[in-house]
Amino acid sequence: MREIHLEDVDFSYDKKTVLKNFNLHIKGGGFTALLGANGAGKSTIFNLISGILAPDKGRVSVGGVDASNRLEQALKIGFVFQENTLDLELSVQQNIQYFAGLFGLKNYKAKSEKLLTEFDLWEQRTEKAGNLNGGHKRRLEIVRALMPSPEILILDEATNGLDPVIRQQMSKQIHLLADQGVGVLWVTHLLDEIEEQDSVILLEKGELRDQDSFFALGGVDGVRSRFTVEKEETLRL
Amino acid sequence: MSAMGAIIWRELLRFVHQRERFIAALVRPLVWLLIFGAGFRAALGLAIYPPYETYIRYETYIVPGLCGIIVLFNSMQSALSIVYDREMGSMKLLLVAPISRQWMLLSKLIASSSVGLIQVWAFLFIAYFFGIKIEPLGYLLAAPAIFLSAMMLGSLGLLISTFISKLQNFAGVMNFVIFPLFFASTALYPLWRIQENAPWLAKVVSLNPFTHGVELIRFTLYGKLEWVNLFVVFTCFVFFFSLAVWGYQSKRKRLKRKFR
């Protein structure tokens, strides 16, 4: 299983420093939640790991390989973005076909059929992605990310905007994937998506507050007590 | 299907789905041809001027320029869709794909240029029924010229998109790009006429890369080639594309702002 390393990373947008001498080591395997309030730097870390952005200083690597090396990394890490990345004018199947072409996947049909069935999207396969409800759209994004059978799945606020019931369902499905051997990094600000055995990384204002299992950190109360600002508004129960 | 094939396939599929876009792309030059062309026919008499070997109607003269405006609008619309994709986040999927950014941008360009070529052919097909008749071979010979001009203008659009972070700003900038490029070119009036009336403007027109794109299309439609036009269009394509690639590299500050 591949490990994620951020070593002495500096990153800033214009004059605003987001990360300064930032170090993070995420062990491979299992379910890890990267938890922090809005503006803590979670999405920046996500964009650095995905190679979309490069650090001003330091190194970001996955499995020992630089994160910006897309040719090496693309099929080993699946990404689910906070924003919609589906083509809403294409059907479910066409979105998958486009993804398969983009990522050079051959003989993808059997795999896509299996995943569409698992994620309850088989009946919608000919529908336009734009006509799907929010939960189905997110599931389709997950199906697509799983198409190359990645070793790691990284999700950035993947349940954003979904109702609590669907959020819980999705969280369970992703935990199930982790149990099946896919390493999961779940970027979130919602505490109710985390289970006791999950590893948790607490992030605040671009700094690592703590890193341990959710249980060892004292569960919901323990995690909340470690944050100093805006916890009522931005860390939801 | 390769990554480039997938990007082109998606763009063509989008084009098929967006019928309004196709109709708008045809209506614009047809209005110019049928209304503007008829109105200005008397005002702007033409001499025999290469590549034409006889007197031609004004409508015939402006057809290559209208082909140019089709690819110009299409290229800028494509650049606009990139800004939209980036603002909405869907560009991220392309950025994590196992392809280099140069390849991704080149694929996007080829896709939009292919759409531009289809639009121009559709326009020429309709124009045929309004008396704009070109030798059959001309349609084929002009295809690489139209495509290359679309690649050059698409690269310019890409380059502009690297400087723009918000969709609404992009629409404004387009007005400062599309109209000066179009009006300060030989799309609507030949260079010698501009030279007679405004020598300073003639200099601007001859420096305008869009002029060379239009002239490249004009000559190839009649089975001829002006090497200077080909050279300028190709050089501008390489120049604009190189700068656009530079702008899209992940370490560039502008890109950082866009994915903030």
* CA-based nearest residue to A53, from B251, B103, B90, B165: B251
pLDDT given at position B68: 95
Mean pLDDT of A39-66: 90
B7 and chain A in contact, CB less than 8 A: yes
Å from B97 to nearest chain A CA? 6
- Residues B88, A68: C-beta atoms closer than 8 Å: no
A176 and chain B in contact, CB less than 8 A: no
Residue B257: other Cβ atoms inside 10 A: 11
> Above 80 in pLDDT, residue B50?
no
pLDDT bin (cut points 50, 70, 90) of residue B259 is low
Q: Where are the domains of chain B?
A: 3-258
Considering Cα of A116, then A122, then A126, then A130, what sign does the dihedral take? negative
Tokens representing A155 are: 């999700």
Q: In whole numbers, what is the pLDDT of chain B averaged over residues?
A: 87
Tokens representing B32 are: 């110019």
- Residues A53, B255: C-beta atoms closer than 8 Å: yes
Nearest chain B residue to A141 by CA: give it: B93
Q: Where are the alpha helices (DSSP H) in chain B?
A: 3-17, 19-31, 37-40, 58-88, 91-96, 101-128, 136-163, 167-183, 191-197, 199-207, 209-221, 227-248, 253-258
Q: Provide the phi-psi class of B13: left if phi over 0, else alpha when psi is between -120 and 50, else beta.
A: alpha
* CA-based nearest residue to B161, from B244, B49, B71, B47: B244
Mean pLDDT of B26-37: 88
- Residues A74, B98: C-beta atoms closer than 8 Å: yes
Q: Could you give the percent of chain A with pLDDT greater than 70?
A: 96
pLDDT given at position B253: 54
Tokens representing A58 are: 């330091």
> Above 60 in pLDDT, residue B112?
yes
Tell whether omega for the bond before B190 is within 30 degrees of 0, i.e. cis: no
Order of strands across the sheet that contains A65-66: A16-26, A4-13, A57-62, A65-66
A70 and chain B in contact, CB less than 8 A: yes
- CA–CA gap between residue B78 and residue A8 (Å, rounded): 39
pLDDT given at position A167: 87
Mean pLDDT of B21-48: 80
Mean pLDDT of A193-216: 89
Q: How many CA atoms are closer than 13 Å to the CA of B18, on its beta-carbon side? A: 18
Tokens representing B107 are: 């694929």
User: Residues A80, A83, A87, A93: what is their CA dihedral angle, to the nearest 10 degrees?
Assistant: 30
- CA–CA gap between residue B1 and residue B257 (Å, rounded): 33
pLDDT bin (cut points 50, 70, 90) of residue B249 is confident
Mean pLDDT of A198-202: 91
CB burial class (10 A; 0-12, 13-18, 19+) of residue B197? exposed
Which region among A168-172, A189-193, A228-232, B41-45 has the lowest average model confidence (pLDDT)?
A228-232
Amino acid at B172: G
Strands A199-204 and A207-213: antiparallel
B92 and chain A in contact, CB less than 8 A: yes
pLDDT given at position A237: 39
B19 and chain A in contact, CB less than 8 A: no
Q: Which of B5, B89, B260 sits opposite A81 (nearest CB)?
A: B89
Tokens representing A62 are: 């996955």
Residue A17 backbone dihedrals phi, psi, to 5 degrees: -80, 125
Question: B136-163 and B167-183 helices cross at what angle (nearest 10)?
Answer: 140
pLDDT given at position A57: 93
Q: How far is CA A167 from the centre of its chain?
A: 14
Assembly ipTM:
0.86
Contacts of B21 in chain A (CB under 8 A): none
- Residues B95, A51: C-beta atoms closer than 8 Å: yes
> Above 80 in pLDDT, residue B174?
no
Whichever domain contains A228, its CATH number is 3.40.50.300
A220 and chain B in contact, CB less than 8 A: no
B20 and chain A in contact, CB less than 8 A: no
- CA–CA gap between residue A61 and residue A185 (Å, rounded): 14
Tokens representing A197 are: 């055995």
A98 and chain B in contact, CB less than 8 A: yes
Strands A77-80 and A152-156: parallel
pTM greater than 0.90: no
Q: Domain count of chain A?
A: 1
β-partners of residue A128 are: A91
- CA–CA gap between residue A27 and residue A151 (Å, rounded): 12
Contacts of A102 in chain B (CB under 8 A): 3, 6-7, 93-94, 97, 99
Range of the domain at A72: 4-234
Residue B36: CB partners within 8 Å, gap ≥ 6?
B62
Residue among A102, A103, A155 with most chain B CBs within 10 A, to mutate:
A102
